Amino acid sequence: MTLKRFIKPTLLALAAASLAAAAHAAPLKVDAAKSSVGATFKQLNVPVDAKFKKFTATIDFDAAKPAEGKASVDIDITSFDLGEAEYNKEVLKKEWFNAAQFPKASFVASSIKPAAGGKFDVSGKLTIKGKSTDVSFPLTVKKDGATQVFDGVLPIKRLTYNIGEGEWKDTGMVADEVSIKFHIVAQ
């Protein structure tokens, strides 16, 4: 094979690969300072809001091609903040999050589909305390100048993930229903 016959197909293959890579958008850059992930639950029938101070999100999304979108979120369980140091320490124990053994919770989207009212239906795997389940939730995406804002609420049952073992399985003190709320700003 001559050098010329080798170089031409190689250059064509490289050009095709470059075009394919350029056609696929790069992941969005998440603005951590403007983004948040939190949880709301009821204790003695009183709503309690908490937040996760540390998390990372990776989003590759184009509203014109939602099926090609990808998203994942990793949450640092040790950053869970109930607003008081004593409570924060308590929820990291084995009976609750068992942060020593399971320091991270994660969500990985498997499907993003258009839904009514300009929303999207997102499905994927949620893993908390070593237990993975299939979940779905509605997602709102808004354009704000050069940024995109992703908002959603994912309802879960804490006992599905063994959050609250032993005496804490009783839902009379802490309700089973938890809403994970997120607000992600990216560009």
User: pTM for this one?
Assistant: 0.84
Spatial separation of the C-alpha atoms in residues 171 and 182, rounded to whole Å: 24
Asked if 29 and 186 touch (Cβ cutoff 8 Å), the reply is yes
| The predicted structure's pLDDT at residue 25 | 55
Spatial separation of the C-alpha atoms in residues 59 and 151, rounded to whole Å: 13
pLDDT at position 86 over 90: yes
Amino acid, single-letter form, for residue 173: M
How does residue 118 score in pLDDT terms, banded at 50, 70 and 90?
confident
What would the pLDDT profile of 10-45 be if each residue is shown by its tens digit?
Answer: 333 333 333 333 344 579 999 999 999 999 999 999
CA-nearest of 107, 177, 104 to 139 is 107
- Burial of residue 147, with CB atoms counted within 10 A of its CB: 0-12 exposed, 13-18 middle, 19 or more buried: middle
